[in-house]
Amino acid sequence: MSKRAKESAPQINRLVVIGLGLIGSSLAIAARQRGLAKHVVGISRRTSTLELALEAGIIDEARESLDEVAAELGPSDVVVIGVPTLTVPAVLKDCRRLLADDVTVTDVASVKGSVCRAAHDIYGELPRQFIPGHPIAGSEKSGVTAANRNLFENHRVILTPNSSTGSEHLSLVEGLWTDVGAVVSKMSTEEHDGILAATSHLPHFLAYSLVDTLAGMGDNREIFRYAAGGFRDFTRIAASDPVMWRDIALANREAILTILDQVMGNFQTLRKAIDGGDQQYLMDVFTQARDARNHFSKLLEDKSLQGSMKDKRINYHIVPGGKAQGTVRVPGDKSMSHRSIMLGSLAEGMTEVTGFLEGEDSLATLQAFRDMGVLIEGPEQGRLVIHGVGLHGLKSPEKPLYMGNSGTSIRLLSGLLAGQSFDTELTGDTSLSGRPMGRVADPLVSMGAVIDTAKGGTPPLKIKGGQQLKAIDYVMPMASAQVKSCVLLAGLYAKGETSVTEPAPTRDHTERMLRGFGYPVSVSDSAARLSGGGRLEAARIDVPADISSAAFFMVAASITPGSDITLHHVGVNPTRIGVINILRQMGAQISLTNEIEIGGEPVADIRVQYAKLEGIEIPESQVPLAIDEFPSIFIAAACAQGETILTGAKELRVKESDRIQSMADGLNTLGINAVATDDGIRIVGGTIGSGRVLSHHDHRIAMAFAIAGLRAQGEIIVEDCNNVATSFPDFINCAATVGLVINVETVND
């Protein structure tokens, strides 16, 4: 991954590295070769180490002790203490004795509590010039000969400053680590030591202990001869530097003992389960561990391969022109994916789901149910097995349930959680934290639920458990499937028959899927009804491709001369096909083939060919049926002849962004006449120019402007596209298969 090149003069004058082990020498060479300091000095007591360091170009100058350089050091000099953890206090004493108080001092020890306590004892306080640090990088190799200028690329460095830390010192150290390619995080020393005890220290001790146990066994040569890949993988870190790990064991004693006790307790239980042939326990533990491992491997891959994308913004650069040709299967339906987890978890028995959307939104729902004790295998290529716990089998989660960007997760879950025996708290990201939740809290409160929202009716939601809910007849003030589903899910736990009447038809996946799980739901006169106290039986769910994701390609083909694409196995539930109806009314050529019904949901292949589009007045009756597709429909309108007018769509203002304003602003930037109105928009078709538009962190705005590139005169840059991963993680590759070229720029803030 390419990094910011250092174009300006180095911020650091002298970088003095005390201790030329793996970390110290790697930092020295990384800084020296990137020109981050005018002069790099290495200090070691061993002449041979200093000679090697000079020879390998790791340092500019070699010294045997700090005394020899201390007097020359001042404000823009940085001293890095790179010695083993237990030796840090001795070096800190030298620093106190020799250095002026404007010299920045930092360390790289793996334990921060003991280092900070030592600094406190030596200086009488944590000195403002001292920045405790820990690069989470390393290898089982040690010493100056293992120096690696890229060791810190895309690795985390944790700094543990406190309130007395000097900001000028902090920014020098932070800048140094960032410039050698690391990702800097800050936290308290206690938090650091607890996390590292579990994720780094414990695995090393397990590896040392296993190898030592085997080495002590009778014919250990025979044993090691047959040890295969698993043993090698697991014990690689037992080749690490013993001095370093002895120091860590002693320095982080408390935190390590806590986690060690926990693991030893689990070992005892595992032993009992093996002894007693407890298959269920073994399956549960191994499956949960495998899934947790897969989940975190993905996170790790993101960190190391994509340069910690999550923490960085990505912009799309859309190469203008192209033609949409071919066949695409877009990812699984988001609404159905959420519901499959919820109902599968509450059912009795094992539910198998295929076609599950592995996007961040539905994964947030999945994680929430894992946090409430549901065993869920997968996802593996869209396949999940959910071990349902029944309507009353959820367990109290240990921490707030994090819903990320997902409105569907938080709103549907609030209904379901209002009927549980335990308290819960639901939180989300910045966008979700600004979205209205009164629309679900109000009906739930009238059912007897106890819910607190933040000021202004937004998340976090605090839901008090143990309430007996009562059925209500709810007439929704807005057409919202999320509100309808929330009330129906609460209705599962309520006494009596709950009904929800909607002002216009909205997606009915909850009603259909409940029936698929054997739960009676009746629908008549725009009202859905169910009675509490029933049970759900495990089912098989095949999630079709999401029409909301397919919509981008339907518009892509419709606006680009010569295009012809087929979207495979798309859900075409009548409450979702507003986009087809609207585009057809504009003149689009869309045909459905292979129409079948799977698990109570209609599915079809959708073929779309280029056609000249005309502006229309969009019928208000279509608004709820196309509610998520308007960003792409607006792009179709921008390419149509004449004016397109949308009214009755105020709901668009409270989606992941204000989609009316976000789209109007972006279209104007691209030279299209678009005027936002209170409840809709007027768009006059024209020529799409080029420019830089904002996605407002909204996945669908980002993808809509990407599609616009097909008809643009020049490059369109869409800012902040990370959230595309919430609903369409593979968008760029999918788009490439039909001829749309999107380059990704990673932005270092």
Q: Closest CB to ligand S3P among 189 and 406?
A: 406
Is position 194 annotated in a ligand binding site?
A: no
List the Cα angle 339/364/508 in 5-degree steps: 20
User: Which residue from 147, 481, 500, 639 is in contact with ligand S3P, where contact means CB under 6 A?
Assistant: 481
Annotated binding residue at 653? no
Pick the stretch among 94-102, 149-157, 474-482, 592-600 that binds ligand S3P (CB under 6 A). 474-482
Nearer to ligand S3P (CB atom), residue 488 or residue 538: 488
From 367, 408, 414, 726, residue interacting with ligand S3P (rule: CB under 6 A):
408
42 known ligand binder: no
Burial of 730 (0-12, 13-18, 19+ CB in 10 A): middle
* Span near ligand S3P by CB under 6 A; candidates 344-352, 478-486, 584-592, 733-741: 478-486
With H, G, I as helix, E, B as strand and everything else as coil, classify residue 4: coil
- Per residue, what are the HEC states of 336-375? HHHHHHHHHHHCEEEEEEECCCCCHHHHHHHHHHHHCCCE
Query: How many whole angstroms separate alpha carbon 531 and alpha carbon 494?
Result: 7
Q: 377 with 405: CB under 8 angstroms?
A: no
549 contacts ligand S3P (rule: CB under 6 A): no
Helix (H, G, I), strand (E, B) or coil at 167: helix
With CB under 6 A as the contact rule, the residue among 423, 651, 658, 665 that binds ligand S3P is: 651
Residue nearest to ligand S3P (CB): 335
512 belongs to the binding site for ligand S3P (CB under 6 A):
no
- Six-digit token string for 160: 């543990």
339 is annotated as contributing to ligand binding = yes
- C-alpha 723/C-alpha 615 separation (Å) is 30
Please indicate if the annotation marks 186 as binding a ligand.
no
Catalytic residues, which ones? 628
Quote the least distance from Cβ 339 to ligand S3P, whole Å: 7
Q: Does the protein bind ligand S3P through residue 632 (CB under 6 A)?
A: no
- 335 in a known ligand binding site: yes
Q: How far is the CB of 480 from ligand S3P (least distance, A)?
A: 4
CA distances from 602 to 70, 705, 738 (A): 77, 29, 25
Contact 91, 127 (CB under 8 A): no
Give dist(CA 372, CA 461) in Å, integer: 17
Question: According to the binding rule CB under 6 A, does residue 44 interact with ligand S3P?
Answer: no
- The site for ligand S3P, by CB under 6 A, has a size of 11
* 334 known member of a binding site: yes
Say whether residue 485 binds ligand S3P (CB under 6 A): yes
Q: Per rule CB under 6 A, is residue 405 in the interface with ligand S3P?
A: no
Distance of closest approach, residue 76 Cβ to ligand S3P, in angstroms = 52
Stretch that binds ligand S3P, among 313-321, 341-349, 479-487, 664-672 (CB under 6 A): 479-487
Residue selected from 26, 104, 335, 662 as contacting ligand S3P according to rule CB under 6 A: 335
Residue 431 interacts with ligand S3P (CB under 6 A)?
Answer: no
- Using rule CB under 6 A, residue 333 touches ligand S3P: no
CB-nearer residue toward ligand S3P: 180 or 437: 437
Q: Which is nearer to ligand S3P, 26 or 408 (CB)?
A: 408
Nearest-angstrom CA–CA distance, 553 and 558: 8
Distance CA 113, CA 130 (A): 14
Q: For residue 150, which of 17, 308, 16, 29 has the smallest C-alpha distance?
A: 29
Two structure tokens written together for 385: 């097995």
225 is an annotated ligand-binding site residue: no
Q: What contacts 207, CB < 8 A, 6 or more positions away?
A: 234, 235, 236, 237, 238
- For residue 323, say whether it is annotated as part of any ligand binding site: no
Residue 6 to residues 10, 34, 127, 175, 179, Cα–Cα distance (Å): 8, 7, 30, 11, 8
CB nearer to ligand S3P: pick between 114 and 480 = 480
Interface with ligand S3P, residue 435, by CB under 6 A? no
Binding site for ligand S3P (CB under 6 A): 335, 408, 480-482, 485, 506-507, 627-628, 651
From the annotation, which residues make up the binding site for phosphoenolpyruvate? 334, 407, 435, 482, 659, 700
